[in-house]
Structure 1
Amino acid sequence: MAKATCLLFVLLLPLMWPLNSWALPADIQAAKDEGMRLYGLGISVETIPYLEPAAKAGDVEAMYYLAEVHRLRHMGLTTEAMEWYLKAAEQGDPYAMLRLFQGGACIVGDRCPEGSDDWQEKGWREAALEITLPKAEAGDPEAMLAMYYIYANLDASRLTSVYNFLGIPTRASKWLKRAAEAGLPEAQNTWGRRIMGGRGWYFTKSRRLEAAESWFSRAAEQGYVPAMEQMARVNRDQEEFEASWQWMEQASQHGNYDSRLGVGWCYLEPDRDERCQNELDKIKGWAILYSLDNEIEDSSSRSVMSWHHDELTESERQEAEALAESEWIGRQPPISKFPRRFGF
Structure 2
Amino acid sequence: MKLQSLRVVCYALLLSAGISFQARAQISNEQHSAKDRGIQLYNQFKAGSALPHLKQAAEDGDAEAQYYLGEAIRKNKKYIDNDAKTAYENSAKQGDIYSMIRLGRMDKDLCMNMGNCSKSKKTAKEWLEQAEYLAIKQAGQGKAESMYLLYEITGKNQWLVQSAENGYPLSQYLLATEYLEGGGFFVLPSSRAEAVEHWMKASAQNGYPRAMSGMAAILVERKDAANARVWVERAAATGYVEALFNYGYYLAGKNGEFGFSADYVTSYALLSLFLELDGGGGAKEDAEYVISKIKKELDQSQLNEAQKLAANWKNTHPPLSFFPFKLSR
TM-score by length of 2: 0.82
Change (3 A) 1:177 1:145: same
Aligned partner of 1:82 among 82, 85, 90: 85
Instruction: Give the aligned partner of residue 314 of structure 2.
Output: 329
Change (3 A) 1:81 1:194: same
| Matched letter for residue 72 of structure 1 | K
Instruction: Give the aligned partner of residue 164 of structure 1.
Output: none
Q: In the alignment, does 2:265 pair up with 1:283? A: yes
State the identity as a percent. Answer: 30
Aligned partner of 1:148 among 125, 146, 151: 151
2:268·2:295 contact (CA, 8 Å) conserved in 1? no
**What is the SS of the residue equivalent to 2:87?**
helix
Instruction: Give the aligned partner of residue 19 of structure 2.
Output: none
**What is the SS of the residue equivalent to 1:25?**
helix
2:212·2:235 contact (CA, 8 Å) conserved in 1? yes
1:209·1:238 contact (CA, 8 Å) conserved in 2? no
Change (3 A) 1:317 1:206: farther
Instruction: Give the aligned partner of residue 48 of structure 2.
Output: 45
Instruction: Give the aligned partner of residue 19 of structure 1.
Output: none
For 2:306 and 2:186, how far apart are their aligned partners in 1? Answer: 47
Change (3 A) 1:102 1:273: farther
2:264·2:294 contact (CA, 8 Å) conserved in 1? no
**What is the SS of the residue equivalent to 1:147?**
helix
Residue-pair matches, total: 294
For 1:30 and 1:280, how far apart are their aligned partners in 2? Answer: 38
Gaps of 5+ in 1: 1-21, 114-118, 153-171
Q: In the alignment, does 2:232 pair up with 1:229? A: no
Change (3 A) 1:204 1:239: farther
Q: What are the within-5 Å matches in structure 2 for residues 57-76 of structure 1?
A: 57-76=60-79
Instruction: Give the aligned partner of residue 193 of structure 2.
Output: 209
Q: What are the within-5 Å matches in structure 2 for residues 154-169 of structure 1?
A: none
Gaps of 5+ in 2: 1-24, 279-283
Deviation, 1:95, is: 1.6
Change (3 A) 1:303 1:330: farther
For 2:189 and 2:248, how far apart are their aligned partners in 1? Answer: 31
Change (3 A) 1:139 1:329: closer
Deviation, 1:23, is: 10
TM-score by length of 1: 0.78
**What is the SS of the residue equivalent to 2:316?**
coil
1:206·1:238 contact (CA, 8 Å) conserved in 2? no
**What is the SS of the residue equivalent to 2:142?**
coil
Q: What are the within-5 Å matches in structure 2 for residues 6-155 of structure 1?
A: 25-104=28-107, 108-113=117-122, 119=123, 122-152=125-155
Instruction: Give the aligned partner of residue 248 of structure 1.
Output: 232
Larger radius of gyration between Structure 1 and Structure 2: 2
CA RMSD of aligned residues (A): 2.3
Alpha-carbon displacement from aligned partner over 1:111-157 (angstroms, at most 9, x marks no partner): 143xxxxx57x2221121122222223322122111111102xxxxx
**What is the SS of the residue equivalent to 1:109?**
coil
For 1:305 and 1:212, how far apart are their aligned partners in 2? Answer: 35
For 1:109 and 1:74, how far apart are their aligned partners in 2? Answer: 14
